[in-house]
Amino acid sequence: MKIKLSVLGTQLLMVLNIFIAFLLLFENKLVIPAWLQPVGRMHPLLLHFPIVILMMAMFLEFFRYRKDVAGNSFYRQSSHYLLLTGAILAGITVIMGLLLSREEGYAGGTLLWHKWTGVLIFFISSLIYFIRNTQWYSAPAAKAGAIVTVLVVIISGHYGASLTHGENFITDPLAVYYQRPPVPFDQALVFDDIIKPVLEKKCTGCHNADKLKGELMLTDSASIVKGGKSGKLFIPGDPDMSLLLQRVHLPLEDKKHMPPAGKAQLTDPEIALLTAWIKSGTTLFAAKVSELPEHDSLRMASAGFLQPAQAAEEKYDFSAADEKTIEALNTDYRTILPLAKESPALAVNIYNREAWTNKQLEELSPLKKQVVALNLNKLPVKDADLKLVSQFENLRHVYLNFTDISAGGLKELSALPHLQTLAVSGTKINYNDLKAQLPALKSLKSIAIWNTPITPGEAQDLQKANTGITFIEGFKDDGTNPLKLNLPEVKNSSMVFSQSTPLQLSHPIKGVDIRFTTDGSEPDSTTSFLFDGKTELTKNTYVKARAYKEGWYSSDVAEFYFLKCSIKPDSTRLLYKLNSVHQAEGAKSYFDNKLGVIGANNPAWANNWTGVRHTDMALVCYFNDPAPVSSVGLHYMLEEVTGIYPPGSLQVWGGENENQLRLLATLHPPKPPKGGKASLETVEVSFKPQKVSCLKIVAVPQTNDKGDRRLLLVDEMYLN
């Protein structure tokens, strides 16, 4: 029986040698189907077995010719079967590794070294097995073969660990002995000295030149800007819509969470740092930390990672808060950071207008001595909430820009004996309010009042009466230094309506005129409609809007689609599977009144997009009572650079049930001109009104010149 197993094993080993040689010869032509990919992914699971078995076999091989074991049959058989088993398992592991290496995300020198050392282990162990019983094989050959095999196993394991865990996985624990000292605050660069070390520590293990997971590399600024397979990594100035932070905030068990479960996770201060970095927009790579405004969130977040500037270091007469308490109070919408390394003083930033409650302030009571800076900008903070703010007895800096406070709120702040900086820009605070409350703010050194009812003349009067306070008025709209207005915004909760909806446009800067059109033409400053809040939309409308103000350059054109959907099905069903990336909420997505935006590869936006390429997008709609339908439309994305195109055709079928459908209409949309900009579009097909209980909508993807289908993305359908 043992002889038969040995023969079968030897034959299998020969087959593996031939098959692996074949795979290596034609590796560049290999295309791995989806059903075979799980086999390749078992490579990390299996590889430990041949490593252990081969190490044992090589140990026995090294001492094989010693006199005390040379005649031992058990020793001889053990070494024979261990070597045969190890070589076979090594061959299977090599095959799995070759399959795995054909997937996206594996490239570079480290992969090549790991692959060829792994292949070498298999061929060396096979060679030793086939020649070890020949007459010329001797003790020196056995020892040399054992030593070489063990060395190659160690080298291959090192490169494998580098692929899986990062280049410096083994030596990272020793970094404490050779890491460079903290960069002084006044010399530190935002990206090189603050952001890059965090990425190197937590991210580049999987996103480097040798392991391009998601086709994303995070080792240099150019690669970071480029992004990866899922699109741009961030949107400067908009952390909420940036892919980097969306992946970080996913649940740990989500397969898209980054860093993956099992890897070292980003700490709350590191997440807050990345958030502030992205929010800073124009200072992403080039700026020095010391060049940022004194109370900028990125500057404050960076301070905890740097050696503090001695001249600016303030002494505090309170002790540091408990670290576990700080960690527990850090959330997705509230960050708590030290003002400087080893400083007991804390800065608190609270985000997300929709999630705001004053409970977020109440929960901070354990830190009432340590909080010295509080940022509540753009939150719906009321005067009553400032009673809670006054509990932080050591507050130096309070930011209340664009909140709902009034003079009564300022009165509450008079209880803060150390308040030095106050920002109330964009609030309703007027001249009389401020004049009455300033005397009570005895330690105040600066106050921001731009975009308030306070006129330049009133600001001058306040400055004369309060010479110890700096009044920050921001941009002076005198026409001598014009700036460009930002885009108008739409305030409608949804741009899909059933019968009618008011057009709600706004602009963050006061005194702006918004001009708009509904016929597709470009709005101008004289003939286009002036937005007055009285426009009612009753049909599908394509709105173009532009902001104007004297002394400013006009904004770019903002574009908004308003879709009328007067009929909604009672239930829906997709006939074919959507692609794996753009599934949104499946059939429910088409009538949920949520429109997507350009940038479908960003997970936050992709949640609204459904996509197909290799199949038709076929939706069946069911109505409990027959519905009078006369038109069907789709809202889709056009983004030529990423291969997203309109449907090639749109078919509508209707009838009493799914088995009795007749073709109601077919439309072939024109192909868009080449080189156009990314946009959101609609296509609509009309027909004679039909009462139907079942409606089938089929959108067929467009094909290119070679006949290959292009990606079709649809977020909403509308029936009228």
The whole-number pLDDT of residue 481 equals: 43
Pairing of strands 712-719, 610-612: antiparallel
Task: Provide the pLDDT confidence category of residue 513 given band limits of 50, 70 and 90.
Answer: very high
Please, which residues have CB within 8 angstroms of residue 121's CB and are 6 or more apart in sequence?
50, 54, 90, 94, 149, 152, 153, 156
Distance between CA 406 and CA 424 in Å, rounded? 9
- Report d(CA 321, CA 303) in Å as an integer: 17
Count Cβ atoms below 10 Å from residue 386 Cβ, excluding itself. 25
Give the burial string for 400-432 (b: 16+ CB within 10 Å, else e): bbbbebbbebbbbbbbbeebbbbbbbbbebbbe
pLDDT at 107: 57
**pLDDT grade for 169, boundaries at 50, 70 and 90:** low
Q: CA–CA separation, 159 vs 47, rounded Å?
A: 13
Q: Name the residue type at position 563.
A: L
Region 464-479 average pLDDT? 69
Q: Quick one: average pLDDT of 90-98?
A: 83
- pLDDT for the residue 355: 78
Alpha-carbon distance of 341 to 289, in angstroms, equals 14
> In 10 A of CB 564, how many CB atoms?
21
Q: What is the model's pLDDT at position 199? A: 78
pLDDT in tens, 262-318: 566 777 677 777 777 777 764 567 677 776 765 566 776 776 666 544 334 567 888
Under the banding of pLDDT at 50, 70 and 90, the label for residue 678 is confident
**Range picked from 31-40, 240-249, 371-380 for highest mean pLDDT:** 371-380
Instruction: Give the pLDDT confidence score for residue 286 in this predicted structure.
Output: 67
pLDDT of residue 76: 81
Residue 504 has pLDDT above 60, yes or no: yes
Mean per-residue pLDDT of the chain: 81
User: Which of 240-244, 445-449, 537-541 has the least mean pLDDT?
Assistant: 240-244
Quick one: angle between helices 139-165 and 109-131, nearest 10? Answer: 150
Max avg pLDDT among 199-203, 231-235, 597-601, 644-648:
644-648
* Secondary structure of residue 357 in the 3-state scheme: coil
Where is average pLDDT lowest: 293-297, 429-433, 663-667?
Answer: 293-297
Q: Which residues partner with 373 through β-bridges?
A: 347, 397
Query: How confident is the model over 602-615, as pLDDT tens digits?
Result: 444 446 788 898 89
Compute the average pLDDT of residues 56-63.
86
DSSP β-bridge partners for residue 697: 619, 652
Q: Hey, what long-range contacts does 700-705 have (CB within 8 A, 24 or more apart)?
A: 700/616, 700/617, 700/647, 700/648, 700/649, 700/650, 700/651, 701/612, 701/613, 701/616, 701/617, 701/645, 701/647, 701/648, 702/645, 702/646, 702/647, 702/648, 702/671, 703/648
In whole angstroms, give the CA distance from residue 195 to residue 182: 13
Mean pLDDT, residues 542-548 taken together = 92
pLDDT score recorded for residue 2: 54
pLDDT computed for residue 666 by the predictor: 93
Residue 646 pLDDT class (50, 70, 90 cuts): very high
- Over 70: is that where the pLDDT of 182 sits? no
The sheet with strand 346-350 has its strands ordered as: 334-338, 346-350, 371-375, 397-399, 421-423, 446-448, 470-472
Residue 241 has pLDDT above 70, yes or no: no
How far is 401 from 423, CA to CA, in rounded Å?
Answer: 6
Nearest in space to 495 (alpha carbons), one of 569, 564, 574, 551: 564
- Whole-number pLDDT of residue 531: 94
Quick check: pTM over 0.75? no
**pLDDT for the residue numbered 191:** 77
Q: Is 521 helix (H, G, I), strand (E, B) or coil?
A: coil
Residue 3 in tokens: 């002889």
pLDDT at 68: 78
At 476 the pLDDT is 47
Asked if 283 contacts 265 with a C-beta cutoff of 8 angstroms, the reply is: no
Average pLDDT, integer, range 671-685: 85
Which of the residue ranges 23-27, 103-107, 249-253, 425-429 has the most confident prediction, judged by mean pLDDT?
425-429
Q: Which residues pair with 542 in a beta bridge?
A: 519, 561
Residue 483 pLDDT level (bands cut at 50, 70, 90): low
Q: What is the mean pLDDT of residues 126-146?
A: 86
Greater confidence, 652 or 223? 652
The answer on pLDDT for 577 being more than 60 is: yes
Arithmetic mean of pLDDT, 478-498: 75
How many alpha carbons fall within 13 Å on the CB side of residue 36?
13
Percentage of the chain beyond pLDDT 70 is 83
* pLDDT score of 234 more than 50: yes
Which tens digits make up the pLDDT trace of 336-348? 888 766 788 888 8
Is the pLDDT score of 156 beyond 70?
yes
Helix axes 139-165, 48-62, angle to 10 degrees: 160
Confidence of residue 509 (pLDDT cuts 50, 70, 90): confident
Number of residues assigned to the chain = 720
Query: 63-67, 164-168, 211-215, 413-417 — which one is most confidently predicted on average?
Result: 413-417
Cα–Cα dist 266/273, whole Å? 10
Residues paired with 471 in a beta bridge: 447
| Amino acid making up residue 128 | I
Higher pLDDT, 616 or 335: 616
How far apart (Å, rounded) are the C-alpha atoms in residues 512 and 505? 11
pLDDT on residue 616: 92
- DSSP assignment, residue 644? B
Give the DSSP H/E element, type plus range, for residue 247: helix 243-249
